[in-house]
Amino acid sequence: MKTKFDTNITYFKTYEEREEAFRESVFELIPRKYSGPWLFWQDFARISHGTALNDSDGPIAYITANPRDCLVYGTAGQALAAAQMCARDTGHSDLQGADSVARQFALEDNLHQPVRTLSGGETVKVALAKAFIAADYCDRLTVASPFTWLSESNRTYLTELAEHYRQADLPMTLLALAGEDSTEAVPPVECPVELQNDKIDFKIHFKDLKILLATSINPLYQANQYAVVEDFSGRLNSPCLLLGENGHGKSLIAKALAGAVGSQGDCGIFGREESGPVRILLQDVVGQTLLRSFDAIRSTAGPSQSEQFQQIYQEIAAPADFADSSDRGESFPSLLEMKTALVAVRLCGRPAALILDEPDWGLSRPVAITFVFNVIKAAHRRGIPIVLISHKPWWLNAAGGILKVQRSTDRDKGPDASAFRIRLKEGSRNIP
């Protein structure tokens, strides 16, 4: 089932096709991060010198595939205030205030929070709110793949934005990947038999854990902010689905487990003996690759693991009929190939677990399903458990276990006060 949405949506098969269409719609004002460093810096130079604006016929509003890329100010409040200043320059007398728009998009608690510390869902809400204000001074709006970031309950904000542009008689275009707006779980008959027969269990635990949200920009006047994770210990089956709403702390939990964020206390995943640290595949793979080439990523597996890397890569790629990077000539590898390479490198290290953070990002639904199932099978063959992070119900029928993440409004008091608390509990497939 697709989301009911009364606006123009164009669907694409691949991330690269969608990005090219998006760049064309915004007069190529966004540098290509998916075609290698040479083209990125070529685009950057052209944009910096102003030649990219020659074809623009008026102010345009847009939301990029990673919404953080269209928010240039330090905090959410600054981003909305800047948009409000642009709107005032139009001379409108009936402008809705930035604080009012923030309340409309449930951003009151995020206004003074650095954008770099926001969750993906919170970031896209800031981008939606900014675009809402921009309707007072822009000619049109283009949005890339908003359904990837928004949980089903938060899609109402996108609907409100579309209605706002409709009332203003301004065009709004959505560019999405095929099936990304689906709210249906993968049917049980389409889930690999191996996931039902070859269960891998593991232990996960959290004790006295505090996760650093960000180092304060001005520590003289503001203390560092932490999220406190309530103690939890349990034994779960792989693949385990880490499920929760936008901003509830799913990615924070994952990064703490992988040691990718500062924390105090203890957390971990324990499965096989003699396993390495927990590894993670982040949602925005383009940022994670740092514009590295396919060979540069493959080399991080080490010379002694070259053959193992190739075997794992083929296990994931061959059944999905992925394009072999060697057949692409001088072109930069696709996002799908890069994701596969990053996963293969991580599995070569035989980690305690591999965490896939919103693994459908940048993939159409059919390709995402094939990719995820192939990764799970390759990991299970090596006794490595998989944790899937998602706000989508796609993976419910494939999950061996479900861990529900909930953000509490309770706050600690005192000098070491927490920004918020995170509760974990085991769930079932009927969790909404």
Candidate from 54-58, 143-147, 224-228, 288-292 with smallest mean pLDDT? 54-58
Label residue 330 by pLDDT band (50, 70, 90). very low
Whether 288 contacts 220, CB under 8 Å = no
Would you put residue 358 in left (φ > 0), alpha (ψ -120 to 50) or beta? left
Amino acid at residue number 340: T
Q: Considering only residues 290 and 258, tell me which one the structure prediction assigns the higher pLDDT.
A: 258
Q: What is the pTM of this model?
A: 0.89
63-86, pLDDT tens digit by residue? 999 999 999 898 999 999 999 988
169-181, pLDDT tens digit by residue? 999 999 999 999 9
Maximum pairwise Cα distance, the chain: 68
Q: Considering only residues 117 and 21, tell me which one the structure prediction assigns the higher pLDDT.
A: 21
State both tokens at 168. Answer: 């203003």
Of residues 177, 230, 213, the one with CA closest to residue 18: 177
State both tokens at 343. Answer: 């996963």
361-399, pLDDT tens digit by residue? 999 999 999 999 999 999 999 999 999 998 888 999 999
259-273, pLDDT tens digit by residue? 998 899 999 998 776
